[in-house]
Structure 1
Amino acid sequence: MKHILLVEDDREISRNLALLLQGEGYAVSAAATQAQAIALAAAQRFDLALIDLNLPDGSGYAVCTALQQTQGVPVIFLTASGDEASVVTGLNMGAVDYITKPFRPRELVARIQAALRRTGRAPQVFSHGVLTVDTDSGLVKISGREVPLSALEYRLLLVFVNNPNGIITRDRLLDELWDAAGEFVTNNALTVYIKRLREKLGDDPAAPRLILTVRGTGYRLGDGHAAE
């Protein structure tokens, strides 16, 4: 499990971000001040840091410097300002990205995943039961057999791959597919996409073992070995 340091002094924003990231399968340690963040950086190992530029006792720059000196983890700055000079300073200090508040939660998660991939801190091959996905090549296999998917089907599968232990609501899937397709995706279309994905993965729609239905909620990923 990847460990993220979240440095944000607004309690509500920090709480909501922590819940979002935990729901994506990340471990999160939160700090509200520069001093707390630097202390955490000295005591724990992290895979990535999200750092607010403006902290009550100083600047996010100092936290970034401490992390670069001790751990070399990728840093994404959170800023309420579009001030170009602040952004350039952060990037020159070694930050890999920045995102301006307010931001879309899905955009932040995508930025985090991209940063982890670029720095080699994200696994390139995902294995879960009979399913294997190579996110570098886009190759999908079931029990060693290659499965060709359309771009939208692959995007749908990646939602499950990125959330292997969680329940994914239909609304969440609709949002993801809308972002990927660039057009509105209806509930009926989602049902069709789920059916097609199951069929291509060799998953019996009448008794699925890989893309499982959670009645009244959404779906979750199974291991494909036995009915649950």
Structure 2
Amino acid sequence: MSQTILLVEDEPKLAALLGDYLKAAGFTCDWYADGEQALAALRATPPDLLLLDLMLPGLDGLEICRAVRTFSALPIIMVTARVDEIDRLLGLELGADDYICKPFSPREVVARVKAVLRRSSVPDGRPAPSGLQLDTETYQASFNGRPLELTPVEFRLLATLAQHPGKVLSRDQLLNHLHTDYRILTDRTVDSHVRNVRRKLHRLDPDCELIRSIYGVGYCLET
């Protein structure tokens, strides 16, 4: 069964072009030009990925992304010509998984979609060690029976560590599971996400030291 991409784009010619390329790549593509209609469709029938233009009339891409994150962790790729918004798009507030800057090649869009879907499919939903429970279908996490509110990127970070309990993973290895390979990221990206996850764990258990730092190497999840 093909994966469904929901495309929200108010330029019909561009939407038709992207739709053709996505269908040629084996995806099902649903298109909406209106943000309100797109949001209603997302709630009724969640797609596998949301390809969302930032600049939309009425309800814009930022508002849609913010609304989606209140009920779903589905992968979101933002399309933008506003480079100054990139940090917000990928930050903790909105939680987009990737961005594409206009102008772009439709082939690049297809490649990004495939890469994000590949990295969003975290295998193995078994309980993680040390009281950590991860549901890879809903991106819900809990620690010692209490809900752990994580962004999609934080969830993938923790899930990647949980798949290799006790094993040290380098920052590069973790980066490969957090984002696509099409933008420049630094070690600080992983460090920042680890700090945020630790802070949220400490709220539930001030003595929690679940994620261990290995100086000069990376991180591991304690068993």
| TM-align CA RMSD | 1.6
The residue aligned with 2:134 is none
The one-letter amino acid of 2:112's match is R
Q: Which residue of 2 aligns with 1:28?
A: 29
Partner AA of 1:88 in structure 2: D
Runs of 4+ off more than 4 Å: none
User: 1:19, CA displacement in angstroms?
Assistant: 1.0
Aligned to 1:75: 76
Residue equivalent to 1:115: 116
Show the counterpart of 1:60. 61
Checking the alignment, whether the CA contact within 8 Å between 1:9 and 1:32 is kept in structure 2 is yes
* Percent identity for Structure 1 against Structure 2: 39
1:117 is aligned with what amino acid?
A: R
Q: 1:36 to 1:107 in 2, by over 3 A?
A: same
The residue type paired with residue 87 of structure 1 is I
Deviation at 1:101, TM superposition (A): 1.1
Structure 1 gap ranges (5+): 123-228
> CA-to-partner distance for each residue in 1:110-161, whole Å, 9 max, x for gaps?
1111101111079xxxxxxxxxxxxxxxxxxxxxxxxxxxxxxxxxxxxxxx
Q: Which amino acid aligns with 1:96?
A: D
Structure 2 residue 100 is the aligned partner of structure 1 residue 99: yes
Is 2:21–2:107's contact at 8 Å kept on the other side of the alignment? no
Deviation of 1:91 after TM superposition, in Å, equals: 0.8
**1:88 corresponding residue in structure 2:** 87
Contact residue 5 and residue 50 of structure 1 kept, 8 A: yes
Matching residue's letter, 1:60: G
**1:218: which partner in 2?**
none
Letter of the 2:87 counterpart: V
Offset, 1:62: 1.7
Contact 1:3–1:28 (CA under 8 A) maintained in structure 2: yes
Cα distance between partner residues in 1 of 2:105 and 2:70: 31
Determine helix, strand or coil for the equivalent of 1:55: coil
Q: 1:174-189 counterparts in 2 under 5 A?
A: none
Q: What TM-score results when the alignment is normalised by the length of structure 2? A: 0.51
Distance 1:112 1:74 in 2: 9
> 8 Å contact 1:8–1:30 — kept in the other structure?
yes
Aligned to 2:40: 39
**Matches of 1:67 and 1:56, distance apart in 2:** 18
State the alpha-carbon separation in 2 of the partners of residues 121 and 35 from structure 1.
Answer: 30
3-state SS of 2:47 partner: coil
Looking at structure 2, the residues matched to 121 and 23 of structure 1 have their Cα atoms a distance apart, in angstroms, of 26
- Taking structure 1 as the reference length, the TM-score comes to 0.50
State the one-letter code of the partner of 1:91: L
Residue in structure 2 matched with residue 15 of structure 1 by the alignment? 16
Separation of aligned partners in 2, 1:57 and 1:80: 18
Contact 1:47 1:121 in 2 (8 A): no
Matched residue, 1:49 = 50
Alignment partner, residue 155 of structure 1:
none
Structure 1 residue 16: Cα displacement: 0.9
Q: Is the 8 A contact 2:54 2:62 kept in 1?
A: yes
User: Cα 1:110–1:121, aligned 2, differ >3 Å: closer, same or farther?
Assistant: farther
Structure 2: runs of 5+ lacking an equivalent: 124-223
Amino acid at match of 1:71: S
How far apart in 2 are the matches of 1:80 and 1:108? 14
Contact 1:3–1:47 (Cα < 8 Å) also in 2: yes
